[in-house]
Amino acid sequence: MQILIGFLVALAMGLTGIGGGSFTVPALVLLVGLPASMAVGTAFVYAGAMRLLAAPFYLAGKHFHSRYLWLLLRGAVPGLLFGTLLLRMLSSDAKSPIVVILLGLLLAGSSSVTFAPRAQYRGFAQKNSKWLPWLALPIGIEAGFSSAGAGALGTVLLLNYSEMTPPQVVGTDLLFGLVLAVIGSAFHWEFGSISGAVLIRLLEGGIPGVVLGCILARRVPARKLKLAIATIAIFAGLQLVWMGSRRLLGEHSTASAASLPHHPGTAKTR
């Protein structure tokens, strides 16, 4: 199962740049059963490795925008540091349902932006490039908190608010996500919130998956695939919200039952 997850997520990343945290974190929480904070850390390292393999394919074709990449990193890197610290504060209990719910809300909300064509403005980045660091700041926060966002939100921002072609968007976003993944991985490695055994299995499936995705990227319409990925990501996010809510209600019921006064039975006398 873990090798299959690694292959499918890496295939999507090679094709569109989306999927590093958006798919890996829900899959590791829902299917593998990892705690939320450990799933985020493992997904960070995995996404960084996959983007490192995919980047040369896009660099060779010069499918990236260096200026936009720099502007995005100026805002996203400080946000990444803040988001990572926020995750640590909220997940002192590694299985905190609040963390799971927030992961789901962030994932579903960021992915749904793809379906708002009236909100698109292709000339925005060219005319208002000074705003890109500020727009990247919340992307960095989300990436640090959930390991999602660098792919989903970064691609949405560049695809709908810049003049770049889809291949340039994917290449720029892959490099953007690669830098964030490297920095985020260092923090999570220091915190010890990474499952080495799961990571190895993800990489076993991910290496052939990302190579195949990059090869097919020139033949598959990236825009249609992004819409399909966004739909799946929304359902994955809602599933996380449902799972976290159930766990939160279960903990609340357990705490309420424990707080009730205990009345031992009266001993019978002969």
Express each pLDDT in 67-89 by its tens digit: 989 999 999 899 888 887 877 77
The amino acid present at 44, given as its one-letter code, is F
Whether 252 maps to a domain, the answer reads no
How confident is the model at residue 270, as a pLDDT? 44
Whether 256 maps to a domain, the answer reads no
The amino acid present at 10, given as its one-letter code, is A
CA distances from 181 to 41, 43, 130, 160 (A): 10, 9, 24, 23
Domain count across the chain: 1
| 122-140 average pLDDT score | 82
Helix (H), strand (E) at residue 157: helix 152-161
| 52-80 average pLDDT score | 87
Please name which of 186, 188, 205 lies closest in space to residue 19, comparing C-alpha atoms. 205
Under 8 Å CB-to-CB from 176, ≥6 apart: which residues?
69, 72, 73, 76, 150, 154
* Contact assessment for residue 7 and residue 46, using Cβ atoms and an 8 Å cutoff: no
How confident is the model at residue 209, as a pLDDT? 93
- Lowest average pLDDT, out of 130-134, 156-160, 212-216, goes to 156-160
How confident is the model at residue 222, as a pLDDT? 64
| 86-114 average pLDDT score | 69
The amino acid present at 267, given as its one-letter code, is A
* Contact assessment for residue 71 and residue 219, using Cβ atoms and an 8 Å cutoff: no
Secondary structure letter of residue 29 according to DSSP:
I
This prediction's pTM: 0.71
Segments forming the whole domain that contains residue 226? 2-246
Confidence of residue 195 (pLDDT cuts 50, 70, 90): confident
Higher pLDDT, 207 or 161: 207
* Contact assessment for residue 124 and residue 179, using Cβ atoms and an 8 Å cutoff: no
